[in-house]
């Protein structure tokens, strides 16, 4: 039974969820020497993408300082380095290990300059949270990228999951086939629970509600939301703006709805697999709606679980209700036996229909080394993955990552140093416990970290496969040696796994480099960003002539256009499905002893050329729209239209699909792709499955087919014109702007 603090002496049935506990996880502090700080402040940062990288830093990671000005890049580097060094210093002093201040000041100087020049970078959550009182007082969870939990004890598992998501951790959840939930009807006795205005209060309320449906004799829960802050007020500890209690109220209503549905249903109509997925996805939706930064999920299930395989089959009446929340997670199946590999043909067919599922090869995951390189006795007991697919994890386990950027280094020796610094960052974060005991016991056993590569394809095309292979092998040895030496000095075990490739999200855009092992969508592109009109950064961008227009989808918001030019020699559309697959195999063998975050993009048979939507259409709107499509692309005019229909021209090179109802008309025009790769999917999956740990696949998405897309191709002339229009940014004039961060990881695998 969940424990509550009794609220006031008005009876035994009034309770208040537990408020946050005041603790101190880091007492000792480290500060860079003044001469190092002065040198850093005198440097000019080299952000990527003609100002877009610097804009993203200020929009996403720049905190407000005590004088109400915003952190610049040097301020952020100083905060991060002071923070990570404070964690290590605190560990040494707590455990009576000698702390050599002169030695560590010299190390911290080199660490900070390498980070300033972006030879290595912490993850986005490290840029945001490291060195803050939030970390010092609540522990390390907000510094971790990845988490996983197996759903077998629903109240406790989902309480942990919501807590991690609200700290910005992406969480995977495992669903075991035939592991049923035992649901009960709450008793007629009522308890009223006053929800504390905190992360802890929100999570505790979900746990007590779930307990009322899983513990016999539990009273019916009625919530009091009066203490939760109103819409628009700042979230003090973690940052962001409050959404008010509405997302939590909706979550509570949905928990009651789906638990009651499970109680009234048999396993054929509404299974435990469906209930577990619904509850996990609904919690994710609540966290996102609550304005918490960067939340994402992945579901891991059995390849033999029909309900799991159909969770996103919205054409099936049984699953169509999940459209409202099923989008919250990517879905992946486990490959646990040789027989499972024989079912990859079914996986390929599902990918063609829905872009999912991916797979997790547990047979390779069990070995702690790199695939095909290390035959180690040590066994990894990981059961699942994080949402981006690069870290195998046990239940309740977390992992922290950092990236090395070889294409930002002047030579390979600088990159080797960057590997050492990234390893130091990750290994040091692992010294700091979280506020969750069940997590600490797993993390202290494994000490799992992920030192990642950024812009692998740019590196490979610049120097060739032979050299990059040799450098990855040497870099791996350096990471391994550094981690072991740091572990011995700190008196802990070395990490069970150490290297990976992550999708990157916003961080690669700071550097102007490609994410992970992915290719850019275009060599030159417009990158659109939505900014609220009452934001200080909106006024700043307008003053610098950044092109913008009214957002077609949101009120009081405008869309700003930045021009980006990639230095990668290839675009995504020019790279075959097989080349992408071989890149994954190469990096999985030579670098990543964890997994490689990836999305293999295949060329679909039908390419979307244009999509148009008209709300509340009349017959004239419909006729005008169809005439516009026919005239613009020269396709054959359809004989009739109603509901959903298709029409082809004489050589069947175009397809038009229209969805019409009383409220809107959506028309999509497709062109047949003679170079499609759909027939290659099964061959690719079956060929590389034994050589990899996780794979996901999606069709190439068309760019520019609807207005205000996030990315759209542009010409060299348009790019040069943008540079002439926009005046140089003077970020010192920005003040009192609290960075917000994205609601989702925006790398290729975490996207939802």
Token output for 69 = 């000005």
The one catalytic residue among 388, 399, 419, 750: 388
388 is catalytic: yes
Name the burial class of residue 752, with classes exposed (0-12), middle (13-18) and buried (19+) by CB atoms within 10 angstroms of its CB. middle
- 694 close to 675: Cβ distance less than 8 angstroms: no
Give ∠ CA 77-82-86 in degrees, rounded to 5.
150
Cα–Cα nearest to 48, from 39, 57, 35, 40: 57
Cα–Cα nearest to 739, from 139, 75, 63, 235: 63
Q: Residue 397 and residue 173: Cα distance in Å, rounded?
A: 11
Phi, psi of 299 (to 5 degrees): -105, 135
Q: Does 267 sit behind a cis peptide bond, omega within 30 degrees of 0 on the bond before it? A: no
3-state helix vs strand vs coil in the chain, percent to 5 = 40, 20, 40
3-state class (DSSP) for residue 707: coil
- 558 close to 549: Cβ distance less than 8 angstroms: yes
The one catalytic residue among 390, 397, 590, 712: 390
* Alpha-carbon distance values, 16 to 243, 247, 256, 318 (Å): 21, 19, 20, 38
- 278 close to 321: Cβ distance less than 8 angstroms: no
246 is catalytic: no
- 597 close to 83: Cβ distance less than 8 angstroms: no
Cα–Cα nearest to 381, from 446, 305, 335: 446
Name the burial class of residue 59, with classes exposed (0-12), middle (13-18) and buried (19+) by CB atoms within 10 angstroms of its CB. buried
Farthest-apart Cα atoms in the chain, separation: 84
Cα–Cα nearest to 507, from 70, 44, 125, 81: 125
Cα–Cα nearest to 422, from 118, 149, 666, 188: 118
Catalytic sites, residue numbers: 388, 390
């Amino acid at each position: 039974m969940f424990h509550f603090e009794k609220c006031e002496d008005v009876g035994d049935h009034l309770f208040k969820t537990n408020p946050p506990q005041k603790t101190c996880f880091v007492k000792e502090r480290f500060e860079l020497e003044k001469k190092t700080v002065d040198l850093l402040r005198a440097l000019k940062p080299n952000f990527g993408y003609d100002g877009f990288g610097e804009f993203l830093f200020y929009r996403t990671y720049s905190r407000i300082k005590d004088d109400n000005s915003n952190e610049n890049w040097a301020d952020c580097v100083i905060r991060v380095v002071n923070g990570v060094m404070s964690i290590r210093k605190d560990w040494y002093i707590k455990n009576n290990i000698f702390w050599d201040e002169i030695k560590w000041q010299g190390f911290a100087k080199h660490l900070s300059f390498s980070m300033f020049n972006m030879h290595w970078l912490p993850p986005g959550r490290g840029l945001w949270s490291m060195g803050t009182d939030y970390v010092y007082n609540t522990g390390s969870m907000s510094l971790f990228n990845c988490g996983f939990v197996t759903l077998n004890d629903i109240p406790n598992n989902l309480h942990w999951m919501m807590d991690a998501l609200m700290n910005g951790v992406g969480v995977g959840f495992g669903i075991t086939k035939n592991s049923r939930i035992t649901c009960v009807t709450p008793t007629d006795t009522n308890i009223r629970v006053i929800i504390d205005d905190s992360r802890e209060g929100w999570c505790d309320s979900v746990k007590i509600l779930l307990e009322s449906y899983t513990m016999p004799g539990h009273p019916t829960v009625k919530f009091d939301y009066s203490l939760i802050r109103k819409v628009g007020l700042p979230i003090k500890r973690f940052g962001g703006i409050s959404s008010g209690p509405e997302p939590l109220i909706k979550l509570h209503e949905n928990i009651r709805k789906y638990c009651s549905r499970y109680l009234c249903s048999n396993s054929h109509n509404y299974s435990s697999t469906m209930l577990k997925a619904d509850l996990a996805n609904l919690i994710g939706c609540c966290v996102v709606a609550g304005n918490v930064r960067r939340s994402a999920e992945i579901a891991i299930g059995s390849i033999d679980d029909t309900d799991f395989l159909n969770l996103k089959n919205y054409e099936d009446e049984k699953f169509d209700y999940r459209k409202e929340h099923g989008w919250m997670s990517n879905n992946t199946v486990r490959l646990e036996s040789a027989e499972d590999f024989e079912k990859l043909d079914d996986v390929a067919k599902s990918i063609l229909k829905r872009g999912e599922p991916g797979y997790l090869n547990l047979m390779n995951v069990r070995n702690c080394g790199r695939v095909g390189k290390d035959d180690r006795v040590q066994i990894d007991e990981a059961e699942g993955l994080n949402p981006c697919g690069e870290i195998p994890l046990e239940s309740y386990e977390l992992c922290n990552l950092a990236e090395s950027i070889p294409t930002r280094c002047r030579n390979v020796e600088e990159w080797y140093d960057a590997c050492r610094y990234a390893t130091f960052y990750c290994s040091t974060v692992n010294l700091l416990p979280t506020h969750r005991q069940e997590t600490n016991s797993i993390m202290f056993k494994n000490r799992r970290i992920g030192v990642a590569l950024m812009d692998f394809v740019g590196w490979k095309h610049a120097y060739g496969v032979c050299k990059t292979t040799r450098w990855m092998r040497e870099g791996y040895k350096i990471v391994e040696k550094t981690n072991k030496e740091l572990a011995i000095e700190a008196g802990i075990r070395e990490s069970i796994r150490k290297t990976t490739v992550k999708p990157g999200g916003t961080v690669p855009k700071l550097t102007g480099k490609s994410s992970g092992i992915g290719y850019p969508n275009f060599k030159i592109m417009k990158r659109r960003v939505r900014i609220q009109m009452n934001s200080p950064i909106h006024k700043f961008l307008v003053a610098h002539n950044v092109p913008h227009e009214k957002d077609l989808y949101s009120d009081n918001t405008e869309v700003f256009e930045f021009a980006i030019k990639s230095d990668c020699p290839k675009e995504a559309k020019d790279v075959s499905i097989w080349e992408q697959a071989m890149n994954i195999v190469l990096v999985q063998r030579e670098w990543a002893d964890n997994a490689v975050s990836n999305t293999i993009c295949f060329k679909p048979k039908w390419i979307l050329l244009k999509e148009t939507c008209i709300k509340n259409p009349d017959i004239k709107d419909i006729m005008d729209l169809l005439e516009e499509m026919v005239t613009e692309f020269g396709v054959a005019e359809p004989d009739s239209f109603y509901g959903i229909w298709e029409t082809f021209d004489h050589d069947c090179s175009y397809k038009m699909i229209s969805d019409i109802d009383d409220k809107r008309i959506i028309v999509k025009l497709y062109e047949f792709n003679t170079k499609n790769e759909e027939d290659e999917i099964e061959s690719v999956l079956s060929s590389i499955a034994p050589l990899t740990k996780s794979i996901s696949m999606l069709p190439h998405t068309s760019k520019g087919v609807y207005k205000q897309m996030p990315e759209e191709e542009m010409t060299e002339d348009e790019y040069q014109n943008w540079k002439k229009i926009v005046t140089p940014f003077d970020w010192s004039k920005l003040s009192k702007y609290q960075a917000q961060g994205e609601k989702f990881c925006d790398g290729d695998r975490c996207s939802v």
